[in-house]
Amino acid sequence: MNVIRSIRAFGEICREDASFRALGRPLGWSVLYHYQGRWYDRRGASMPVRNVVFSHGEHRVEFAMTDKYIGAFKGIFNDKEYDCASRFERAPRRILDLGGNIGFGSVFFSKIFPEAELAIVEPDHRNLPLLRKNLGLNGISATVIDGAIGSAAGTLTLRYGTNPTCSSLEGTGMHDLSNTVEVTVTTVREVMKQAGWDHIDLLKIDIEGAEEDLLANDNQWLAKVGAVIMEIHPNTTVERLNGHLAPFGFILTRFGGGREPVYFAKKQAR
């Protein structure tokens, strides 16, 4: 049975390689990258950070990354789970990225909305140096905030493991992770103040199960948001989140056909 699973997994990795070739990588690159990561894992080591260059439409994008980030990359650049440009009559000029990780989402948005200002919130201390480096590699100026987002400012415990794309705040019930660190929590109002904004055209949320607290409590700032694109995690439902968003003119609907449950809502005229 393990042999059959391994063969199926290898076949899936090979099929995905075609999508990386469409992004300018050579034949077999993603297969080799995957198994290099496995090689390091089996030796209890981490793959060294290396810069990888991709083609994104007419653009060149570059990321300092390791194999641990390839799943997040695939969602954004292979599945195009944030490719929402067609939903706007006027391109967003202010984009807030909550859960910026190492910058995949922000770089993607900067290419489809090149005139937009960006603010990014990221709590995982392992990701922040790569986030700042990747913004620089892609010529992006952004307000980067070291900390988590929440409904109230303060300090909370962030749980994290070997995968740097799924750290989560204690209390969300997401992920059984053994390592912890205290992180500063800020609010959307404070981020807007720091960025000098009076509104947000596009709000992206991928905060590993903390989305309901953010949207349910002290949420009057939603009146200043034009559109939301977000990943919904298993500790809540789209119905519950729509209950918090509907009073502000938003109804989330499934967006795209990617592997992650991404939803989009644009404020309806009232």
Tell the residue number behind the tokens 């997401």, with chain if given: 174
CA distance 20 to 27: 8
* Banded model confidence at residue 2, pLDDT cuts 50, 70, 90: confident
Q: Is the pLDDT of residue 268 over 90?
A: no
Residue 263: the pLDDT is 98
Q: Is the pLDDT of residue 146 over 70?
A: yes
Q: Please provide the distance, in angstroms rounded to a whole number, between the alpha carbons at the two ends of the chain.
A: 57
3-state helix, strand, coil in the chain (%, to 5): 35, 25, 40
Q: In terms of pLDDT, which residue wins out, 57 or 206?
A: 206
Q: Tell the CATH topology of 78-266.
A: Rossmann fold (3.40.50)
CA distances from 214 to 94, 97, 120, 220, 227 (A): 19, 14, 16, 11, 15
What is the domain partition of the chain in residue ranges?
Answer: 78-266
Residue 11: the pLDDT is 87
Mean pLDDT of the chain: 95
Count of CB atoms within 10 A of residue 34's CB? 18
Q: Is the pLDDT of residue 269 over 70?
A: no
- Per-residue model confidence as pLDDT tens digits over 64-121: 999 999 999 999 999 999 999 999 999 999 999 999 999 999 999 999 999 999 999 9
Angle at which helices 2-21 and 29-42 cross, to 10°: 130
Tell me what percent of the residues of the chain surpass a pLDDT of 90: 89
Q: Is the pLDDT of residue 270 over 70?
A: no
Which of helix, strand or coil describes residue 123?
Answer: coil
DSSP code at position 253: E
CA distances from 31 to 12, 18, 25, 49, 53 (A): 10, 10, 11, 18, 16
CA distances from 254 to 55, 95, 197, 269 (A): 27, 20, 28, 20
Residue 46: the pLDDT is 94
